[in-house]
Structure 1
Amino acid sequence: MSTTRKEAVRRYPKLGQLIAGEMKYDGGRSTMEVIDPTTGTPLGLVSMATEADAAEALAAASRGFDIWRRTSAFERSALLRRVAVRMREKAQELAELLVLELGKPWNEALGEVDVAAGMWEWAAEEGRRAYGRVIPSRENHARQLVLIEPVGPVAAFVTWNGPLVTPSRKMSGALGAGCSIVLRASEEVPACAFALGQIVYECGLPAGVLSVLSGDPVMLSTRLLESPVTRAVTFTGSTNVGKLLSQQAVAHMKRPIMELGGHAPVLAFESIDVPLFARRAVAAKFANSGQVCFAPTRFYVQRSIYADVVEAMTAEAKEIVVGCGFDPNTQMGPLKSERRLRAVEQMVDDARQFGLRVTTGGAVLDRAGFFYQPTIVADVTTHAKLSNVEPFGPIAAVTPFDTYEGAIALANRLPYGLSAFVHARDFETLHRATNDLEAGNVICNGWRVTYPETPFGGHKESGMFCEGGIEGLRAFQNVKYASFS
């Protein structure tokens, strides 16, 4: 790391609206402060898009789609690869923005840049493979073809907890499939999405194929989803908002691609290596300050090793260094906002009212910014709020179980099904749990949930369709049957 927080703050960019490749700063738009979670003070201002901005972006997306859909898959692939290269060249600048806007530790920020660049690489390669097929005909001299085509202009909405990864996943998937896209960036972490959009245009994207807006989510979702230009909507965020957007999308016959909330269970069986499990579980739980939709949150541990796991996880959590992301010693940064800080505080207060054991943490840190201690809560019952509401913060809930069937019932009791984790040494248990767990992503003896080449999507109230992998590209494509006689 070659910078300090003070230097990075001075470099925080002026933000406008990126419409059809041009940053627009004027127009008398209202503005909103972007807050630094490390200090609780403003970093700068982000303008709020107007209805005229939305209309201009939609018109550009319509024109851009006509150009981009006719651009060869090989040309599209080359551009997406250039984006990945350029992102890695600008890794320090992008990491600065991640630390400033979200408070991530420096190494985590660099890791997010690398993961995001990998998504562009994957989409570049897989976008060249939009294979159809030939169906054997019942008639002589006839040809029956299945053709794969881009679905059309896409409206994309992203939340704040993955400022570079989430926009990258949506942009690269849509562009790799041959679609144009209008992306609404989170006004809480806007600079990353705008920087990414500018990089894409630096790499040669035709004007109009991509626009990035920030502004009122209700106005923008209404304008983008009511427009006949838009053919699909992709959203990452809470289940409640996802349901509303899905209703709007279906009302206008737009395809809803939804990656929604989770509350991931972890099943830990007695055969595991407890110290290794605890060390890696804590690292996965408290990454990004626990603000990850697929993060492990509900730890169900076989009773014979329960006390040892609680003790080991508690010891590991106590060692986490909390601080500013620009400090090389920092392992966990702040929560994103005052709102998140209070939500986590209330959840731990609720746990204490139920008599649950807080074995470490459980308090706001007495300093500027939105810092909360890494927290382990033991003996968690199904009545506590922590058992039923995604904490989206640095809290791990630990509960004992006695039987396999009881563990599966606890894991599946909620309406969410984004990710689940199983840790055991025997294949039979892993195999059974993979089949029995109701989740879109089941991770056995590991913690990494998603790669660019793997599908990522939820079951039940955690989403519809997938992002990532060939399935993610197909979400942005239509199937057409063609017959020749």
Structure 2
Amino acid sequence: MHSVDRSYPDLHLLIDGRWIGADERDTVDVENPATGEHVGRVPVASEDDVERALEAADRAFVPWRDTSPHRRAAVLMRGAQLLRERREEIAVAMTLENGKPYGDSLGEVDYTADIIDSLASEAPRTYGHVLPTAAEDGRTLVVSEPIGPVAAFTPWNYPLTVPGRKVAAALAAGCTVVIKPAEETPASAVALARALTDAGLPNGVLNVLFGDPAAISTRLIASPVIRKVSFTGSIGVGTLIARQAGGLAKPVMLELGGHAPVLVFDDADVDAVARQALGAKIHNTGQSCGSPVRFYVHERVHERFVERFAALLDAVRVGDGFDEATEMGPLANSRRLAAMGPFVDDALARGATLAAGGPADGNGFYYRPTLLAGVPDDALVMHDEPFGPIAATSTFSDEDEVLARANGLPYGLAAYLFTSDADRALRIPRRLDVGMVSVNRFGVGARDTFFGGRKASGFGSEGGPEAVDEYLVRKLIAQG
């Protein structure tokens, strides 16, 4: 770790195969959340840049669509391999711009490369089928075709994985992409684009823009070139994008917020749950849509769980992501830091207990992993997503009651269940109104599995074979 070059790379737009640097455009600063210092400048796309990116994606679509699926897969897999070969420099940039521990950044590079490999392998599997018809001399085919150029918008919390999933799925299907990643974490997305272009991706198939999010998204969505919109981010922005696209009859894929409930029954191994919950809660400093937030703990074991979980959280070493002793880094930006206090203050005012954590010292955007115990259901943290290292506990005694409370929010992304009762382990997941349920462990989704929610958490899949299917449309061909 000590020998790794910690310099931040130069940043660029990518339009029709041309890299446009910060010296050629207006720029915005990139901050290191561990120190608050500026580490780089990201170029801001002009209106002409947006138009040229759209033209490039439009022009490149038919040749890329007609490229052999095996050839598309080979380019993606070569890009994944280049990410692995460049993992240290990409991880350094990710830690500098996002704040996560360097080891976690390395893990994100590896995981993203695995996801790209998995999605690439789906390219040759975009099957159709033949239907029997009443006519003796007829034949009816149903074929899958790429929907067309895609506009993609990605956040800062997983700055390589989320762009990697969207881009790989769309490219595997045969679509071209104009992507606008987060300006807070641009280097990770640029590294993805460089790996894919170096792997042989033709000019115009992938275009990368940074700048005014509202202006760029509005223009991309309005363009007749764009045939589908894919967004990961907040519910507020997601619903706005859905309205804009819906007014033009364009399909949208949304992966929005979460507020994951955790149901801990009295037959669970409470100490084991607390140890697992520690890793799940501090991962990515809690800035994950699947992060566990509402811990509904059976009244018989609540006190013991709180005591154990609080002790583990209090022992977490918070610091700079390049410090080998660090277990949890800073929040990714000043906005997230400012958001933490109101959640805690509101819960305490409503009778909750601060069992662990609270504000942290330091020049960066640090907040200690925090546990609020005995939180009433009307507290802010129990119905608004904190998107940070805050967990809240509440007691329950009845299965039907806790399921009603767990399902009571508009969110429907992930949920977690801990029990040693085999029948309950089968029964409850079917009654949880979410897209993903994990039983007796934390973490949902893998490199080759479905990832998505329901209700206000969005719709569509960001992973697995379903992700490639999101970028395909069906065509019926009736032959006489």
Same fold (TM over 0.5): yes
1:373 correspondence with 2:372? no
Letter in structure 2 aligned against 1:42: H
Unaligned runs of 5+ in 2: none
TM superposition score normalised by structure 2: 0.98
One of 211, 223, 234 as aligned partner of 1:215: 211
1:430 correspondence with 2:425? yes
Letter in structure 1 aligned against 2:73: S
Contact 2:131–2:139 (CA<8 Å) still a contact in 1?
A: yes
Letter in structure 1 aligned against 2:287: Q
Alignment of 1:298-313 (within 5 A): 298-313=294-309
One of 294, 311, 314 as aligned partner of 2:310: 314
1:131 correspondence with 2:127? yes
1:473 correspondence with 2:468? yes
Measured against aligned partners, the alpha-carbon deviations of 1:173-211 in whole angstroms (never above 9, x if no partner) come to: 100111000000100111110111011000000100000
Relative to structure 2, which stretch is displaced further, 347-356 or 305-314?
347-356
Q: Quick one: distance in 2 between partners of 1:140 and 1:110?
A: 59
1:337 correspondence with 2:337? no
What is the DSSP-based 3-state SS (H/G/I as helix, E as strand, rest coil) of the residue aligned with 2:424? helix
Measured against aligned partners, the alpha-carbon deviations of 1:111-162 in whole angstroms (never above 9, x if no partner) come to: 1111111111011111110011111111112111110010100000001101
Relative to structure 2, which stretch is displaced further, 256-265 or 341-350?
341-350
User: Match of 1:395?
Assistant: 390
Calculate percent identity across the aligned residue pairs: 44
Q: Quick one: distance in 2 between partners of 1:386 and 1:26?
A: 40
User: Match of 1:446?
Assistant: 441
User: What is the CA distance between 1:3 and its match in structure 2?
Assistant: 3.7
One of 63, 68, 71 as aligned partner of 2:64: 68
User: What is the CA distance between 1:243 and its match in structure 2?
Assistant: 0.3
Relative to structure 2, which stretch is displaced further, 449-458 or 413-422?
449-458
One of 91, 102, 105 as aligned partner of 1:106: 102
1:157 correspondence with 2:153? yes
What is the DSSP-based 3-state SS (H/G/I as helix, E as strand, rest coil) of the residue aligned with 2:301? helix
Q: Quick one: distance in 2 between partners of 1:423 and 1:163?
A: 31
User: Match of 1:405?
Assistant: 400
Q: Quick one: distance in 1 between partners of 2:288 and 2:322?
A: 21
Q: Quick one: distance in 2 between partners of 1:291 and 1:470?
A: 26
User: What is the CA distance between 1:26 and its match in structure 2?
Assistant: 6.6
In the alignment of these two chains, the number of paired residues is 480
User: What is the CA distance between 1:290 and its match in structure 2?
Assistant: 0.4
Residue 352 and residue 3 in structure 1: after superposition, are their counterparts in 2 closer, same or farther (change >3 A)? farther
User: Match of 1:276?
Assistant: 272
1:353 correspondence with 2:344? no
Contact 1:146–1:479 (CA<8 Å) still a contact in 2?
A: yes
Q: Quick one: distance in 2 between partners of 1:250 and 1:70?
A: 29
Letter in structure 2 aligned against 1:409: A
1:484 correspondence with 2:479? yes
Q: Quick one: distance in 1 between partners of 2:107 and 2:11?
A: 24
Contact 1:361–1:373 (CA<8 Å) still a contact in 2?
A: yes
One of 144, 151, 155 as aligned partner of 1:148: 144
User: What is the CA distance between 1:459 and its match in structure 2?
Assistant: 0.5
User: Match of 2:87?
Assistant: 91
Q: Quick one: distance in 1 between partners of 2:21 and 2:334?
A: 28
Measured against aligned partners, the alpha-carbon deviations of 1:338-389 in whole angstroms (never above 9, x if no partner) come to: 11111011211111211210111122x1211000111110001111111011
Measured against aligned partners, the alpha-carbon deviations of 1:50-79 in whole angstroms (never above 9, x if no partner) come to: 111110000000011111101000101111
One of 457, 460, 465 as aligned partner of 1:462: 457
What is the DSSP-based 3-state SS (H/G/I as helix, E as strand, rest coil) of the residue aligned with 1:373? strand
Q: Quick one: distance in 2 between partners of 1:317 and 1:26?
A: 41
1:239 correspondence with 2:235? yes
Contact 1:359–1:376 (CA<8 Å) still a contact in 2?
A: yes
What is the DSSP-based 3-state SS (H/G/I as helix, E as strand, rest coil) of the residue aligned with 2:358? coil
Q: Quick one: distance in 1 between partners of 2:45 and 2:200?
A: 25
Unaligned runs of 5+ in 1: none
User: What is the CA distance between 1:25 and its match in structure 2?
Assistant: 2.3
What is the DSSP-based 3-state SS (H/G/I as helix, E as strand, rest coil) of the residue aligned with 2:35? coil
Residue 26 and residue 421 in structure 1: after superposition, are their counterparts in 2 closer, same or farther (change >3 A)? closer
1:170 correspondence with 2:166? yes
Measured against aligned partners, the alpha-carbon deviations of 1:33-52 in whole angstroms (never above 9, x if no partner) come to: 10100001111111111111
Q: Quick one: distance in 2 between partners of 1:119 and 1:43?
A: 29
User: What is the CA distance between 1:30 and its match in structure 2?
Assistant: 2.1
Contact 2:152–2:166 (CA<8 Å) still a contact in 1?
A: yes
User: Match of 1:78?
Assistant: 74
Contact 1:182–1:211 (CA<8 Å) still a contact in 2?
A: yes
1:290 correspondence with 2:278? no
Alignment of 1:12-23 (within 5 A): 12-23=8-19
Q: Quick one: distance in 1 between partners of 2:85 and 2:2?
A: 15
Q: Quick one: distance in 2 between partners of 1:273 and 1:136?
A: 55
Q: Quick one: distance in 1 between partners of 2:128 and 2:108?
A: 34
User: What is the CA distance between 1:21 and its match in structure 2?
Assistant: 2.1
User: What is the CA distance between 1:314 and its match in structure 2?
Assistant: 0.7
User: Match of 1:196?
Assistant: 192
Q: Quick one: distance in 2 between partners of 1:373 and 1:395?
A: 9
1:326 correspondence with 2:326? no
Relative to structure 2, which stretch is displaced further, 193-202 or 428-437?
428-437
Contact 2:22–2:41 (CA<8 Å) still a contact in 1?
A: no
Letter in structure 2 aligned against 1:346: P
Letter in structure 2 aligned against 1:408: L
Measured against aligned partners, the alpha-carbon deviations of 1:288-311 in whole angstroms (never above 9, x if no partner) come to: 100001111111011111111111
Q: Quick one: distance in 1 between partners of 2:320 and 2:331?
A: 11
Contact 1:21–1:198 (CA<8 Å) still a contact in 2?
A: no
Measured against aligned partners, the alpha-carbon deviations of 1:405-429 in whole angstroms (never above 9, x if no partner) come to: 1110110110000111111112221
Q: Quick one: distance in 2 between partners of 1:404 and 1:299?
A: 14
Q: Quick one: distance in 2 between partners of 1:31 and 1:368?
A: 24
Letter in structure 2 aligned against 1:60: A
User: What is the CA distance between 1:2 and its match in structure 2?
Assistant: 4.3
Relative to structure 2, which stretch is displaced further, 48-57 or 350-359?
350-359
